[in-house]
Amino acid sequence: ANGRKNGRPQSKDNHTPPHDLDAERALLGSLLIDGRRMAAVLPVVTAYDFHREAHGQVYRAMVTIHCGGGAIDTLTVADRLTAEGTFATVGGAPLLADLLSAPPHAANAEYYARIVRDKAVRRRLILAARDVTHAAYDAEQPVAETAKSLAATVHAEVDARAIPLLN
């Protein structure tokens, strides 16, 4: 009744938002194993693309380290998260150890990143569709404006990184 099922957030129609926690873990683990993969992953996924907030925070720390010219590994990520005051809240050393054991193969980091991004785009599309549905019920707004708003909303929610998904 509180919008949760088995501890996971549920939408009003009882669907769990699209996500793949295994892909999120595999991506982060791949980057911990081989931080050089960040160069290929950075254009594909952002911290906001992660369904699990802790995963997004870990990724954001990795991006900060990478952009500062540092090496990504468990020590530098733990240090960065500690400096941000989020190490314990994201899960601390147990989370990083879990992430290290997650990737089947670190060389697949870009593939895992695309999975994470694809799920995020689906979540954005669902939110955009919900907003458009609400707007369509607004009898005060002319139909042409509603249609224009629909196109703008979908375009805004699905950023340029997602365009290849639509082709």
Instruction: Note the pLDDT of residue 109.
Output: 96
pLDDT of residue 143 exceeding 80 = yes
Could you tell me the pTM of the whole model?
0.80
Q: Exposed, middle or buried: residue 135 (CB in 10 Å: 0-12, 13-18, 19+)?
A: middle
Quickly tell me which residue has 């002319």 as its tokens.
Answer: 142
β-bridge partners, 5: 8
pLDDT of residue 4 exceeding 50 = no
Query: If DSSP codes are grouped into helix, strand and coil, which group holds residue 59?
Result: helix
Structure tokens at 42: 């950075």
Mean pLDDT of the chain: 86
pLDDT of residue 13 exceeding 80 = no
Instruction: Note the pLDDT of residue 167.
Output: 41
CA separation for the pair 13, 138 (Å, rounded): 21
pLDDT for 50-102, tens place per residue?
A: 999 999 999 999 999 999 999 999 999 999 999 999 999 999 999 999 999 98
pLDDT for 31-52, tens place per residue?
A: 999 999 999 999 999 999 999 9
CA separation for the pair 20, 30 (Å, rounded): 15
Instruction: Note the pLDDT of residue 96.
Output: 97
What average pLDDT does this structure show over 2-19? 60
Its sign, for the CA torsion 139, 143, 147, 153, is negative
Q: What percent of the chain has pLDDT over 90?
A: 59
